Amino acid sequence: MIRKAKSNYYQNKAKTFRTSDPAKWYKTIYNLSGVSSQHEGLTVNSMGSEAALADKFQISYTEPWKYLITTSIPQLDEVESLLKNYPPPLPSIDQIKSVLNHLNHSKVTGADGVQIWLLKRFSSILAPIVHDIITASITQCKHPSHYKHGLVTPVPKAYPPTDVSNDFRQISVLPHIGKILERVQLQLNQNDIILRPSQHGFTSGRSTTSALISITQPWFNATDNTCHDKAGIHALFIDFKKAFDLVDHGILLNKLRLMNVIINASGCGSKASYLGCSAGVPQGSALSPTLFNIHIDDLDTSVPEDLEPPNLYIGDVMIERVNSFKLLGVSCQINMKWNSHIKEITRKVNRRLCHLRQCRKAHLPTEVGLAIYCTKIRPLLEYAAPVWGGLPHYLVNDLERIQRRSVRIIGLPVNTLPPLSERRDKLTLREMEAITQDVNHPCHHLVPIAQKHDYSIRTKERGSNVGRIISRTERHKSSFMPRAVKLFNNKL
């Protein structure tokens, strides 16, 4: 009876959403297939009353600052700026109006109670008012304290959550005017904020895939493709606890001073649930990712290169030796193979196939099952695929078998979708094109330069500035750069 009701609801109401309101259509099919209900919300009864739970969250979020030793906050007159003899850059009313028109209407209202639909619908009327507020804030170097009040929302990282301190991520909902102020300041100062090209997080044109390539490719080169003796790799994985929450304001302001940038120094503090924050940047702020990148920008150059060989201890804690470690969502093995990663993603995908079966049992159209597979299942099979795409045949067959099974459950021919191996090659080629087109890309130095000559031979490079890579082992041949170079040159 429930299956019939689902089918009737889709045919009579939800089907038209695909053209009129695609977002609502996807939300509807996720609900019908059970995708949206796979994670239940907070169960207050299991964790105490609402008031007690709120107190626990407040204590947990302020705990990291109790014993924090922070550096002194520099005075504003100590912050030297190239603009100190000139008026600071100010936005135009048209720029403010453009920001208001591009606001995301699905964002939650902040502590000021100003709803986003109001700012967006009446942008022409409110743009001059918001412009006056922002220009006054910039010229007076003052960030209104009311715009620093954040409503902290706990978002579960594990299901079901059991530990208040570790199983929740805090997202700060800031007033929309305050976020507009930050976004405009970021646009005005973007050219003055120069970060090292080794940054991948919160950076345009970078991703976890590019970060993994910049990390793993030197491993393959050192162990399998050197003219000298093969080198061994010792990788130390460090996870910084509460990284955003423990950003030192004094260090951050000093780094901004060295960059000759002033971004409302008084706005670096934030408040959550009416408690002051002595450190950190709020997760949910427009400026926070940029400020965090500035804070860690010199991390890779701060460690001396002539250190003595480190012991296997940090303090009194012994470093655990592991055979596999998940780095940025990809399981890296000690033998530099990808069996563990393929095993893990196949396990995750197999648990999601039940949603396709729900669509089939409810007699929903095949387009629904296909959309769920392409948006909720296939991305698991392709995350960071350029990094681990050089798989042996038996692992390639394992992944293709999952796709064929999914398509059969939907009720379509197995050749409805292109093979996953073909899609991985396209993703690898796309990543390679992004690397070669950007000389500042962190992986650009890994690209071999083609030798230029005037001889007319069949092997002459056809307009390519990418040289060939001769791999000494099959393992190196299956790594990203040799595969990407081959695909890139064959395309030309």
Domain ranges of the chain: 50-189+244-301, 330-452+464-491
- Rounded CA-CA distance 355/377 in Å is 10
pLDDT digits (tens, 9 = 90+) for 60-112: 777 766 666 666 665 555 444 444 556 678 888 998 999 888 888 778 888 78
One-letter amino acid at 374 equals: C
- Rounded CA-CA distance 8/113 in Å is 40
CA dihedral defined by 247, 253, 255, 256, rounded to 10 degrees?
Answer: 120
Query: Is 103 in contact with 116 (CB distance < 8 Å)?
Result: yes
Task: Report the relative pairing of strands 271-272 and 275-276 from DSSP bridges.
Answer: antiparallel
Question: Is the sign of the CA dihedral 127, 133, 137, 143 positive or negative?
Answer: negative
- pLDDT at position 484 is 92
| Percent of the chain's residues with pLDDT above 90 | 22
- pLDDT at position 424 is 95
What is the full DSSP assignment across 310-323?
Answer: PPSEETTEEPPP-S
pLDDT exceeds 60 at position 116 = yes
pLDDT exceeds 70 at position 185 = yes
pLDDT digits (tens, 9 = 90+) for 195-215: 777 778 777 788 889 989 998
More confident residue, 268 or 280: 280
Q: Which of 313-322, 331-340, 465-474 has the lowest mean pLDDT?
A: 313-322
More confident residue, 448 or 250: 448
More confident residue, 261 or 88: 88
Name the DSSP letter for residue 449. Answer: B
**370 CB-side CA count, 13 A:** 11
pLDDT exceeds 70 at position 263 = no
One-letter amino acid at 257 equals: R
pLDDT exceeds 70 at position 392 = yes
Mark residue 364 as left, alpha or beta (left: phi above 0; alpha: psi -120 to 50; beta: remaining).
beta
Q: Which residues have CB under 8 Å from 115's CB, separation 6+?
A: 109
Q: What radius of gyration, in Å, describes the C-alpha atoms of the chain? A: 26
Query: Is 250 in contact with 71 (CB distance < 8 Å)?
Result: yes
- pLDDT at position 77 is 54
More confident residue, 183 or 247: 183
- Rounded CA-CA distance 33/357 in Å is 8
pLDDT, the chain, mean: 79
Query: Is 201 in contact with 190 (CB distance < 8 Å)?
Result: no
- pLDDT at position 284 is 60
- Rounded CA-CA distance 97/262 in Å is 24
pLDDT exceeds 70 at position 461 = no
One-letter amino acid at 230 equals: K
The band of 283, judged by pLDDT with boundaries at 50, 70 and 90, is low
- pLDDT at position 282 is 61
Q: Which of 40-44, 341-345, 473-477 has the lowest mean pLDDT?
A: 40-44
